[in-house]
Amino acid sequence: MDSDSLLLSLELASGSGQGLSPDRRASLLTSLLLVKRDYRYSRVLFWGRILGLVADYYIAQGLSEDQLAPRKTLYSLNCMEWSLLPPATEEMMTQTSVVKGRFMGDPSHEYEYTELQKVNEGDKVFEEEIVIRIKEETRLVSIIDQIDKAVAIIPRGALFKSPFGPTHVNRTFEGLTLSEAKKLSSYFHFREPVDLKNKTLLEKADLDPSLDFMDSLEHDIPKGSWSIQMERGNALVVLRSLLWPGLTFYHAPGTKNCGYIYVGTGEKNMDLPFML
Q: Which residues bind other proteins (CB under 8 A)?
A: 11-12, 14-24, 51, 53-54, 78, 100-102, 160, 162, 168, 170-172, 178-179, 210, 224, 227, 229-235, 240, 242, 245, 264-265, 270-271, 274-276
Residue number, 132 or 211, with CB nearest to other proteins: 211
Q: What is the C-alpha to C-alpha distance for residues 266 and 60, in angstroms, rounded to an integer?
A: 15
Cα–Cα distance for residue pair 110/44, rounded to 1 Å:
30
| N-terminal to C-terminal alpha carbon distance within the chain | 28
CA 106/CA 226 separation, integer angstroms: 31
Residue number with CB closer to other proteins (150 or 242)? 242
CA 44 to chain centre: 14
68 or 72: CB nearest other proteins: 68
Question: Which of residues 16 and 146 has its CB atom nearest to other proteins in the complex?
Answer: 16
26/196 Cα distance (integer angstroms): 40
Residue 47 C-beta: closest distance to other proteins, Å: 16
Q: In angstroms, what is the minimal distance from the CB of 198 to other proteins? A: 27
CA 152 vs CA 104, 106, 199, 208: distances in Å: 24, 25, 21, 21
3-state DSSP assignment of residue 66? coil
Question: How far is 11 from 254, CA to CA, in rounded Å?
Answer: 17
Omega before 222 cis (within 30°)?
Answer: yes
Nearer to other proteins (CB atom), residue 22 or residue 122: 22
Q: How far is the CB of 124 from other proteins (least distance, A)?
A: 35
Sign (positive or negative) of CA dihedral 137, 139, 140, 142: positive
d(CA 45, CA 57): 15
> CB-wise, 160 or 190, nearer to other proteins?
160
Report helix, strand or coil for 276: coil
Least distance between other proteins and beta carbon 86 (Å): 26
Q: Which residues contact 53 (CB under 8 A, 6 or more apart)?
A: 102, 103, 104, 105
CB of 172 to other proteins, least distance (A): 4
Least distance CB 139 / other proteins (angstroms): 14
Nearer to other proteins, 119 or 178 (CB): 178
Minimal distance, residue 13 CB to other proteins, in Å: 9
